Amino acid sequence: MLHKISQFCNKIDNLKRMSDKLRTMKYGNPKASDEEIDNMILDIQSECLLLASDKSKYENNYEDNGLPKNFTDKFRIEDDGGV
């Protein structure tokens, strides 16, 4: 999985918001144009495709503090002994 689990869940939440907006666009008053509705459908479908295509194995590459696991190695400050 290319995303953190929280990012994946956020994308699902966003799909729900998009779905709710589509329902309002279609059945609300005033209704959106057919072109706007079709564009929203395409946006939802493309988001779904991105999520469905992410089939890589999930690996937790983050520390408990949210930083990448190798972050502190890359940016380690060497102790010069107080010199």
pTM of the entire predicted model: 0.67
Q: How many other CB atoms are found less than 10 A from the CB of residue 35? A: 8
Q: What is the pLDDT of residue 81?
A: 60
Residues 21-68: tens digit of each pLDDT: 999 999 999 999 999 999 999 999 999 999 898 887 777 777 777 777
Q: So where are the chain's domains?
A: 5-57
* DSSP letter string, the chain: --S-HHHHHHHHHHHHHHHHHHHHHHHSSSPPPHHHHHHHHHHHHHHHHHHHH--SPP---B-TTSSBTTHHHHTPPPP-TT-
Distance of alpha carbon 22 from alpha carbon 51, whole angstroms: 19
Distance of alpha carbon 60 from alpha carbon 78, whole angstroms: 27
